[in-house]
Amino acid sequence: MAKVLVLRTAGVNCDEETAHAFALAGGEVTTLHIGSLLAGDQGLGDYDILAIPGGFSYGDDLGAGTVLANQLRTRLAGDLHDFVDEGKLVIGICNGFQVLVRLGILPGWEGEKAASLIENVSGKFEDRWVDLKVETDNCPFLDCSGENGESSSRYLQAPVAHREGRFVLRDQALAERLLENGQVALTYRSSEGEGDSEPKAAAGAYPDNPNGSIMDIAGICNEKGNVLGLMPHPERFVHRLQAPSWTRNPPGAGESSLGALSSAGDGFSIFSRAVGFVNDRADKIS
């Protein structure tokens, strides 16, 4: 069974939802305060998946994710890099994404800080639902190949809730590198043309792109694909009932009302695929 560590500290407020999502997916979940890691009571090596959840770690008083990133860099950098190098999975959601970017783990280029997540173009906190497209086939959290090689949905919905979510890179050459490496994991899509086989790109337009990120980027991964950072909150849409539009989506043919209401939301797939990936790898090794 995949062992999942959900890291928490002061100001983090999505740890329980993230732990719930991984538990629903069949993971063995431990929610741990960073103090326990710093004290050596437990180590990262005991786990298969590390989740850095959303919220406002340490109040974001020195910048979003700054204090938590500094703690990890100064005290746990070696363990964290070993964890990533071994191919274990890491997901940073919202504040967790900000932490991974500040650490240089994302995009993951020689450990340098090549990207930033800065204040939204709107200049305010954005709390809304967004449409997303999966842009990579190289990330276990987003692997869209279904059973027997059948392709599953490449489109997701999830809520965002952030003030500093605008993804930017140091220069245009780095943007091209990100694209060439296939590290753009998720992009914002337009909500117009619902029902089309290919929803249009947000093209930077507000509110489809809620923060003004370059290339409509909602999430990126490292080159190996085992580290994912994203601004939307998939842990807030693991049940169909959590969608604001659930009353407008009646049960399909052959689906009971009770079954429809208890079925999974789009975000659940991110957690179930990660747990499934770890379990499959363990089976192959054994």
* pLDDT at residue number 151: 46
Which residue's structure tokens are 């089309």?
196
* pLDDT at residue number 51: 98
Q: Which pTM does this prediction carry?
A: 0.92
Q: What residue spans define the domains of the chain?
A: 3-285
The CATH fold of domain 3-285: Rossmann fold (3.40.50)
* pLDDT at residue number 250: 66
Residues marked active site are found at: 94, 233, 235
* Helix or strand (DSSP H, E) at 30: strand 28-33
E strand spans, 126-222: 126-134, 155-162, 166-169, 184-189, 217-221
Q: What is the DSSP string of 86-142?
A: TT-EEEEETHHHHHHHHHTTTT-STT---EEEE--TTSS-EEEEEEEEE--SS-GGG
* pLDDT at residue number 245: 83
Closest CA to 52 of 74, 31, 24: 31
Strands 217-221 and 49-52: unpaired
* pLDDT at residue number 177: 94
* pLDDT at residue number 196: 55
pLDDT per residue as tens, the chain (286 positions): 999 999 999 999 999 999 999 999 999 999 999 999 999 888 999 999 999 999 999 999 888 999 999 999 999 999 999 999 999 999 999 999 999 999 999 999 987 899 999 999 999 999 999 999 999 999 999 986 654 444 456 999 999 999 999 999 998 899 999 999 999 999 999 987 555 567 899 999 999 999 999 999 999 999 999 999 999 999 999 998 899 988 777 666 666 655 665 688 999 999 999 999 999 988 877 6
